[in-house]
Chain A
Amino acid sequence: EAQVTQNPRYLITVTGKKLTVTCSQNMNHEYMSWYRQDPGLGLRQIYYSMNVEVTDKGDVPEGYKVSRKEKRNFPLILESPSPNQTSLYFCASSFGYGQGGSPLHFGNGTRLTVT
């Protein structure tokens, strides 16, 4: 089954404790992206990757890191989480946008709480 898999689904942590949210897709997509969803703010892009070893900042990259060492994986790293990073996070993938648009496939989300 074609899917984007995020882990974990729920995560509660404390300020400053490094964490990684994993994302994997099995559709051989070139494009992958991370979003955060907050009430009243919709979906905001954190980082995206056009291909292996190619990443770029989205609208809200501060406090986050990503890496794309393999085509299928795109982990989101919070080196020193803070309470304002409490949010619902989504990973998504697609064949790419360079051709004028390609449907995004989303994972089921990771709800992160930083205390």
Chain B
Amino acid sequence: GENVEQHPSTLSVQEGDSAVIKCTYSDSASNYFPWYKQELGKGPQLIIDIRSNVGEKKDQRIAVTLNKTAKHFSLHITETQPEDSAVYFCAASTYGNNRLAFGKGNQVVVIP
């Protein structure tokens, strides 16, 4: 089955700097790549997703890039703010597959 790995496991950034989290996946047939943000005491919440027919997608301060050849996709957060501190999960799934494979998560800490 699909295997998704996230790096680094913990990331500390100064407020205002950019943060990048990278995920690699194993199944070249995967075509849907969402990112979830989990704040303390809450369930994960979708923040952005990308499909395999698109190389990049942006939504205000966040963006996701996809490199199908290298089988990796990355979350970019610009102008980080304290409220960006959270655990971020990447995931991947394949057309016709009923399951979403999650990475182990990244703890992002924004230092004021």
| Complex contact B44–A43 (CB within 8 A) | yes
Q: Which residues of A contact B49 (CB under 8 A)?
A: 101, 103
In the bound complex, CA of A56 to CA of B60 (Å): 38
Residue among B41, B46, B89, B96 making CB contact with A103, cutoff 8 Å: B46
| Complex contact B98–A98 (CB within 8 A) | yes
| Complex contact B99–A42 (CB within 8 A) | no
- Within 8 Å of chain A (Cβ to Cβ): is B100? yes
Contact indicator per residue, chain A 47-73, by CB within 8 Å of chain B (1) or not (0): 010100000101000000000000000
Residue among B31, B41, B44, B105 making CB contact with A106, cutoff 8 Å: B44
Q: Which residues of B contact A56 (CB under 8 A)?
A: 98
User: Count the A residues whose beta carbon is within 8 Å of the partner chain — how many?
Assistant: 28
- Within 8 Å of chain A (Cβ to Cβ): is B61? no
Q: Which residues of B contact A40 (CB under 8 A)?
A: 104
What are 10 A-to-B residue pairs whose CB atoms are below 8 Å? A56-B98, A58-B99, A97-B97, A100-B93, A101-B49, A101-B93, A101-B95, A104-B44, A107-B43, A108-B43
